[in-house]
Homo-oligomer: A and B are copies of this chain.
């Protein structure tokens, strides 16, 4: 029988860890007392989770590995989350730190359609890390954002995304913004030959997001961005696999609110659901993510994993231009560096700073 394996970190009394793991195995599948579930041979054999191991983690917590019969997930993107962490998430002393999906689940969820290869094809960048920035802040008109886009494109930035705070505002409607930014891209392409990839931010309820996607694709956008943890992962999956024809960047907004380990959430879950590139907050910047976590996220996104295409890691969250060489050494060239608001810090120097960012990445020697 195929098993979905999940690893949980259990804080608290280690002498209780085995019993707590057994309780999780029930809670996440049958959610009735064991005696009730065991009355039916089919349920006992094919449905109930089984504790595979409980080990001390060294820091006083315990790591429990539980195998769930994959049938419990119905191979459904929403039900998978329920089996993985549904009710157990309500216990404040349990974190979901790893999972391993069996082949049938990988085949059903599919993972990235474009991934690293598709994004290299799209940008034409083969031999170095990619560059990314954002048109922002919220409050600008479409014309002002298009002005920023023009400057970034002239500076040779590979991918320019909307800030994730740009929705469909009266003072900056989605359609007008997308059209203005795409026109700016084309204007610079005809001047310089460099066609920056613009990724508009899609946000709203499913009806609205899918309409925004159609509009963006029909208008010529060659990538889009969404925040999967704002929209919900099931909606994200449907967007990637039922609606999108262009690569999809995942933004981490709202994701830190989760008690999943970051290397699981950003490194595996978003890849399994279909993110072609995953933005996360890196060690260099205002969020202070540990280096080991960043390495694990990037490693998970790019590792051989059940035949799923690799996703492009996109560290962001406040990289300073001076830090670019070190950041490129750290992540290697299969990565995209996201530098946002700091390009705008010096008035009148946007083109110069954007060029310096692009040049720093071009000149950096990667570790990978």
**Is A118 among interface residues, defined by CB-CB distance under 8 A?**
no
**Is A345 among interface residues, defined by CB-CB distance under 8 A?**
yes
The 6 closest A-B pairs by CB, nearest first: A232-B232, A90-B256, A32-B341, A43-B139, A30-B137, A89-B257
Residues of B within 8 A of A87 (CB): 164, 252-253, 256
Minimum CB–CB distance from A29 to chain B (whole Å) comes to: 6
B71 touches A254 (CB 8 A): no
**Is A283 among interface residues, defined by CB-CB distance under 8 A?**
no
Chain A interface (Cβ < 8 Å from any Cβ of B): 23, 29-33, 35-37, 39-40, 42-43, 46-47, 71-74, 76-79, 81-83, 85-92, 96, 136-140, 163-165, 167-171, 203-209, 227, 230-235, 237-238, 242, 252-260, 281, 286-287, 317, 340-342, 344-345, 347
**Known contacts A30-B136, A72-B165: does B254 contact A89 (CB below 8 Å)?**
yes
Residues of B within 8 A of A340 (CB): 31-32
Partner of A231, one of B78, B207, B259, B342: B78
Residues of B within 8 A of A231 (CB): 78, 232, 234-235
Q: Please state the number of chain copies in the assembly.
A: 2
Minimum CB–CB distance from A67 to chain B (whole Å) comes to: 16
Additional A-B contacts beyond A76-B205, A204-B234, A205-B242 (11; CB < 8 A)? A30-B136, A72-B138, A76-B204, A78-B230, A85-B254, A86-B227, A90-B252, A90-B317, A206-B206, A207-B238, A258-B258
Partner of A232, one of B92, B165, B230, B257: B230
